[in-house]
Structure 1
Amino acid sequence: MDARETAVRHHDTEPRAEAGHGDHGGGTGHGGHDKHEGHSPAMFRDRFWLSLLLTLPVVVYADMIQEWFGYTAPTFLGSNLIAPVLGTVIFLYGGWPFVVGAFREIRSRAPGMMLLIGMAITVAYVASLTASVGLFTVEVWWELSLLIVIMLLGHWMEMRAIGQARGALAALAELLPDEAERVNDDGSVHTVHIGDLAVGDVVLVRPGARVPADGEIVQGAADLDESMITGESNPVTRGEGDRVIAASVSIDSSLRVRVDAVGENTALAGIQRLVAEAQESKSRTQVLADRAAALLFYVAVSAAAITVAVWTLLGDADAAVVRSVTVLIIACPHALGLAIPLVTSISTSKSARNGILVKDRLAMERMRDVDAVLFDKTGTLTKGEHAVTGVAAADGDDEALLGLAAAVESESEHPLARAIVAAAAERGADVPSASSFRSMTGRGVRATVDGHEVAVGGPALLREWGLDVPDSVSDTVTGWRNRGAAILHVVKAGEIVGAIALEDQVRPESRQAIDALHRRGVTVAMITGDAQQVADAVARGLGIDEVYAEVLPEDKDSAVADLQRRGHTVAMVGDGVNDAPALARADVGIAIGAGTDVAIESAGIVLASDDPRAVVAVSTLSAASYRKMTQNLWWAAGYNLAAIPLAAGVLAWAGIVLPMAVGAVLMSLSTIIVALNAQLLRRVDLRSTAVSSG
């Protein structure tokens, strides 16, 4: 099964995504929308337009409408049957999805929106039909027809909105190419379907093409656009030995990639699963909305019953029917049921497009309350890779010293050796030829350069050879040592000719992330197993508030507990196996996506990129999502509290009544307002939030 098929299996695309839109009060699915099984936005659209066409003559021939607008509709043989005949067609055709949904809610014992609508249109239809045959006095054909049309329009718009929000999953699947160019053993290239790729295959990725599967570059180098996965807009350079992600785009050069993950095992498929799980999970606000919607059903039925009783006792049976139907219509918890699911869908898809993968909606909801962020140092605030940060030559020629050290280290695979060689190449230093390379375990390396024996090593080498650092560089070396840098000395012909400082590279984005958190009033702490002076040096450079240094891996979670005991709501950010307990203990666990599977499994939120600024984006999205949820809840709940008494006719004595059709319009308008308010979440800028938040 390829990643595209995985996407289709895990996340139904739009025609089926709407297959569940009906029980706003039942507490299932998206506010209970799972009662529209088999229905799609197209179905509601088609029924809306046809029902609207049939409703026009019903309205034109309605006595009340003619009286309001002062005209007389032309009469002909059978014109008196226009309302009952077309009204019946509209009820059976346009109203059928609601009647079916009502029966499903009854069978599942989860009464909600569909049951309210079903009851309202059925009562209105039966009353009108009996009136047309002379058995009753209330005839509301035009109100019934308009009500069904408005309901169809509201559901069509709602399902389109949710379908667009969920479309992010289908969009992720569409990122993968249909075919891949597989390189055969004889070097020839053969085009195959992406589903035919297997681990170990080598594929050719041409300039401008997408990588078909996760793998490792075995030939070539290129700038890759990984924005669809990580949210990072700038291309990243990848070369031989680097891993690439399926769906990333090679911008300028061709690559040969050995596939190491296909189908459900690719990073893209993992992202799709996380997005789907997050959209299906419920936050505390969603649970509250579900309960409120379920409660509203019983409130509406009770209010309708009281309305019938009161108006009947007052001797107005017509008003009893009209007012009770209006109560049922206007009390539909449509907006209440849509208030949270739509925000959830939009925020989840938006976060996924920005490299933020939400595994647990509760974690995202809690992020807005976080007032302390604990960063693991290595691999999170720093790159976990050493780089040359200082060169001090006894004779003052730093470039020559760096070139000499690079010559000796050129054959070593040690990370510090690679950092020196890389620094020499980056600075354009002249690197002489070396021979007779030898490794001195625990002390350093040595080689012959221009006929001289040259060694590069640390303090153990100096102790063994009895060498002292020359005065010309001793002060510089002392300063490096005080800030915790790793120091390698270069020895030529038995004398120290200089020293090189190497330090774990601090990510350039780390300072921006910490500054942005400080502007929000968040305390920033750092935890590491490194020596205190190393940790303090990094903390000073980044402006970190608290430091936990020399911490054993198994004790990292105790730092989280310490912050929590002091009253903080803590987010832990880490990427390693030894971060897993701390990620699990924290109020919000955030795993760097490049980290281990164990760390990712322990976290509620996963960052697809290594950029710590994404933590600020998470906080921004959490606050914005919660704000939209509460706004929608207040609007939906407040609307019902105000509208139900008006629909029941409590102000009829003052001449203020709420017609049935107006009630339907107001109910649909409430839903539209909630949907539009949720759509505003799309305008939140997450990419610049770490830099511009204040």
Structure 2
Amino acid sequence: MKNSLENFCSHCLLSLGSHPTQRIVNGEEHAFCCYGCCLAFQVKHGSREEPEAAWLLVRLGIGGFLSMNIMLFSLLLYSGTFDVADSEMIPKFYWLLGILATPVLVILGGPFIKESWEGALQGRLNSATLISIGALSAYGYSLLMLFTGGENIYFDTATMILVLFTLGRYLEASGRAKAVRNVAPLLEAERQYATVIENGIERLRSIVEMKIGMNVRVRPGERISVDGIVLEGHSSTDESILTGENRPVSKSEGDLVLAGSINQNGSLLIECGALGSNTQWGFLCQSVREALSHPSSIQRLADHAASIFVPIVLSITVLTIIFWQSQIPLNQALLNGLAVLVVACPCALGLAAPLATALGMGQFLHRGCIIRGGEVQETLARIRRIAFDKTGTLTKGATSLIKIENDDASQEEVLQRAAGLEQHSEHSLAHGIVSAAKERKLNIKNPERVQAVAGSGVMGYVEGELTAVGRSEWLKKRGLEMPSSFVKKLRNYESSGQTVVCVGWSGKIHGILLLDDMLLPEVPIMVETLKKLDMRTMLLTGDLPAVASRIAKSAGVDEWKASVSPEEKCTFLEQWGGIEEPVIMVGDGLNDGPVLARAEVGIAVGAATDLARETADLVLPEKGLALLPWVISLSRAVHRTILTNLLWAFGYNLVAITLAVFGLLQPILAAGLMAGSSLLVVFNSLRLEQFPDNPADLAQVKSFISGKMITNFQNTLKFDEKM
């Protein structure tokens, strides 16, 4: 079966790039971003009974064994162990080294030579080009000296370069696989199979072959592949990847189970109700694929630098040899050029951004956050202004009816008409009105020709009469007169900061509904933490100034703007931030889709409506507003890690190539430094796995962000079985 993840490496799951390496493992075709991932994948997943996988391990063992022997014999020659009497033995040792080095060149150098040759045919140069030229140059020059009777033999250099690079690529690939293990389940979802019950017989079916209504058996430890209803069985499920909540959720007959959750302890029989993109899990999977497939601007810059890096290094190598050959023996000049070739490290440049981005995305997913990609993380890291919607974002969104003021109509009729118009609305005020009518067991009638005006109210025909529910100013504009007995009461209610909704029909306002929506308890701490992160905060709401002022004061936000429609919010955001200071907009996704789309970064909170999924750049889990400081801090840590990686990659190459040009590096040492350079980028990125979980612990967060490049080095090296 062909790998369905056409754009991602089968091992590390990062983007393949434009020129992947193809291999068949266990009878399936796989694509890899580099030879290191191909090697690591074959070692880990290749069947011992499979000839290719078994031969791979044999090749690595033979190559390593022969290289160690070559190095041992070379050390004996360099140390002067052989005296004059043994001088006739030295040429024989040279021939022995040449014989041992030849299979090493084929076994360990073959994949690099093949990759560089295929790249050359396609008009591109990469790190394999540098490795191949370096190893072949050392081997070819040594072979020439062997046949001409020369004494400058560098078979040890040629073979150790290949050993160090092979080992470095393997460790690098293992580290990359470990880095993306949090996003691996989402990228591999298309490969998943489910146990389907057909005519009483269990059969394995691919997810893409399944249909709604099928019965699926899920055993303990398996990931549930569909949304559905439990038909039989009792268990608990881990829904943390969907909700960010680590506590197991009990499931029994009749309960809803979600695709992507893990069945923990009991066997369940599930009737498939939704699958693929119609589930939250499917949306998550698609979002992650899109995010990893679209590099951020800083990643595109690094990729461009890496693409021109190899030609520059080759030019420097030629110039180095030309410069030195007139001043020192040719063999020494060639060694200096060889050191330039093997010390250069384009891999570090290529890894700097995508690895840290993938790790950051894994952390977001681990907490139940859906992020659109690396560009969003990069933007979050530099923004210093954030605006909030009020209802359902800073407040509970569960409005309760406190009081009804009525004139010549009964309270029941006022509430009944209002509930009739609001019964199909998703706004929290509507929910409060409808809930109050149901509690009083009123007969809610279906209106006709209902029309909703965003930020103002709703109107329609109830029992043949045009009825309107909404803000007093809007009702007045519709020709509904305000009774004198309501004027003072309305003014007092509005000045107190409570939400007021007027209800009118037959040319007159007949009632006032007084509602309230409580501030979420976590909001004050969240806003205070944002301020400590140097964020300026703003409340944008369609409510009256008194309501906005009360909520803003309770929440602790810096500024507020009241009585603004969704369209006016978009304009105000542009004015508040301007070009130089873009703004984050946070809303619940119910009526603020346009402003979420217009903001530099739109963040939707809660279960997320379809509109929010399409417009928001980041979706927080339900009850996830408290994560906002953590989200911004993590984005800054990812950005800082990318910059540190790039600084190291550019700095290392500048210093190392300079030392090699001046003849201060031996090729073997240069090869070790090159392999270590990529590993250092991997280990530095892996520090993001230790990012503090507590969003309020700013001291720990700042300590992490400003910490040393490598911490807990030994812990990072523990590549567990999940790689």
TM over 0.5: yes
Structure 1 match to 2:539: 526
Letter in 1 for 2:115: G
Work out the number of aligned pairs and report it. 618
Q: Deviations over 1:13-51 (max 9, x none)?
A: 744848958989xxxxxxx98454993315588454432
Structure 2 match to 1:660: 667
* Distance in 1 separating the partners of 2:253 and 2:390: 27
| Aligned-pair CA distance for 1:302 | 2.1
Q: Deviations over 1:115-146 (max 9, x none)?
A: 11121111112111111111765421011111
Letter in 1 for 2:307: A
5+ residue gaps, structure 2: 21-30, 44-55, 405-414, 424-429, 448-457, 460-468, 473-479, 503-511, 703-723
Structure 1 match to 2:315: 302
5+ residue gaps, structure 1: 25-31, 393-404, 425-433, 444-456, 489-498, 651-656
Structure 2 match to 1:55: 67
* Distance in 2 separating the partners of 1:683 and 1:377: 34
Letter in 1 for 2:538: A
Letter in 2 for 1:163: A
TM-score by length of 2: 0.72
Match of 2:537, SS state, is strand
Structure 2 match to 1:572: 585
Q: Is 1:672 aligned to residue 688 of structure 2?
A: no
Equivalence map 1:83-482=2 (5 Å): 83-134=97-148, 138-172=152-186, 179=194, 195=207, 198-199=211-212, 212-214=225-227, 225-233=238-246, 245-248=258-261, 260-387=273-400, 415-416=431-432, 419=435, 482=496
TM-score by length of 1: 0.74
Judge which range, 271-280 or 122-131, deviates more: 271-280
Q: Deviations over 1:29-78 (max 9, x none)?
A: xxx9845499331558845443211112211222x544338578997996
Asked if the contact 2:302–2:349 (Cα under 8 Å) also holds between the matched residues in 1, the reply is yes
Instruction: State, as a whole percentage, how many aligned pairs show the same letter.
Output: 27
* Distance in 1 separating the partners of 2:229 and 2:514: 31
Asked if the contact 1:480–1:487 (Cα under 8 Å) also holds between the matched residues in 2, the reply is no
Asked if the contact 2:566–2:595 (Cα under 8 Å) also holds between the matched residues in 1, the reply is no
* Distance in 1 separating the partners of 2:103 and 2:685: 35
* Distance in 2 separating the partners of 1:613 and 1:563: 24
Q: Deviations over 1:80-110 (max 9, x none)?
A: 4321112111111101111112123222322
C-alpha distance 534-204 of structure 1, shift in aligned 2 (>3 A)? farther
Q: 1:561 aligns with which of 574, 577, 580?
A: 574
Judge which range, 49-58 or 503-512, deviates more: 503-512
* Distance in 2 separating the partners of 1:574 and 1:622: 19
* Distance in 1 separating the partners of 2:684 and 2:142: 37
Q: Is 1:633 aligned to residue 646 of structure 2?
A: yes
Q: Is 1:40 aligned to residue 53 of structure 2?
A: no
Letter in 2 for 1:82: L
* Distance in 2 separating the partners of 1:38 and 1:573: 40
Q: Deviations over 1:358-383 (max 9, x none)?
A: 21322210111111111222332234
C-alpha distance 71-421 of structure 1, shift in aligned 2 (>3 A)? farther
C-alpha distance 604-50 of structure 1, shift in aligned 2 (>3 A)? farther
Structure 2 match to 1:493: none
* Distance in 2 separating the partners of 1:288 and 1:273: 25
Match of 1:246, SS state, is coil
| Aligned-pair CA distance for 1:506 | 3.3
C-alpha distance 39-252 of structure 1, shift in aligned 2 (>3 A)? closer
C-alpha distance 508-151 of structure 1, shift in aligned 2 (>3 A)? same
| Aligned-pair CA distance for 1:334 | 2.7
* Distance in 2 separating the partners of 1:275 and 1:84: 50
* Distance in 2 separating the partners of 1:7 and 1:516: 45
| Aligned-pair CA distance for 1:458 | 12
| Aligned-pair CA distance for 1:290 | 2.1
Match of 1:506, SS state, is coil
Asked if the contact 1:22–1:113 (Cα under 8 Å) also holds between the matched residues in 2, the reply is no
Asked if the contact 2:127–2:310 (Cα under 8 Å) also holds between the matched residues in 1, the reply is yes
Q: Is 1:517 aligned to residue 542 of structure 2?
A: no
Letter in 1 for 2:127: M
Letter in 1 for 2:39: S
| Aligned-pair CA distance for 1:224 | 6.8
Asked if the contact 2:345–2:678 (Cα under 8 Å) also holds between the matched residues in 1, the reply is no
Match of 2:38, SS state, is coil
* Distance in 2 separating the partners of 1:244 and 1:690: 34
Match of 1:384, SS state, is coil
Asked if the contact 1:554–1:578 (Cα under 8 Å) also holds between the matched residues in 2, the reply is no
Asked if the contact 1:617–1:690 (Cα under 8 Å) also holds between the matched residues in 2, the reply is no
C-alpha distance 147-610 of structure 1, shift in aligned 2 (>3 A)? same
Q: Is 1:592 aligned to residue 605 of structure 2?
A: yes
Asked if the contact 1:13–1:167 (Cα under 8 Å) also holds between the matched residues in 2, the reply is no
| Aligned-pair CA distance for 1:214 | 3.0
Q: Is 1:644 aligned to residue 644 of structure 2?
A: no
Structure 2 match to 1:68: 79
Q: Deviations over 1:144-201 (max 9, x none)?
A: 11110000011111111222233334334789996579899xxx99999684764467
Asked if the contact 2:349–2:649 (Cα under 8 Å) also holds between the matched residues in 1, the reply is yes
* Distance in 1 separating the partners of 2:113 and 2:256: 55
C-alpha distance 509-252 of structure 1, shift in aligned 2 (>3 A)? farther
C-alpha distance 86-551 of structure 1, shift in aligned 2 (>3 A)? same
C-alpha distance 181-383 of structure 1, shift in aligned 2 (>3 A)? farther
* Distance in 1 separating the partners of 2:12 and 2:595: 40
Match of 1:526, SS state, is strand
Asked if the contact 1:179–1:192 (Cα under 8 Å) also holds between the matched residues in 2, the reply is yes
Q: Deviations over 1:379-431 (max 9, x none)?
A: 3223432247x699xxxxxxxxxxxx9xxx9xx97733675699x9xxxxxxx
| Aligned-pair CA distance for 1:79 | 5.0
C-alpha distance 597-324 of structure 1, shift in aligned 2 (>3 A)? same
Q: 1:617 aligns with which of 627, 630, 633?
A: 630
| Aligned-pair CA distance for 1:661 | 0.7
Structure 2 match to 1:653: none
* Distance in 1 separating the partners of 2:692 and 2:132: 42
Q: Deviations over 1:493-522 (max 9, x none)?
A: xxxxxx996423433333332221111121
| Aligned-pair CA distance for 1:663 | 1.0
C-alpha distance 287-233 of structure 1, shift in aligned 2 (>3 A)? same
Q: Which has the higher contact order (CA 8 A, sep 6+)?
A: 1
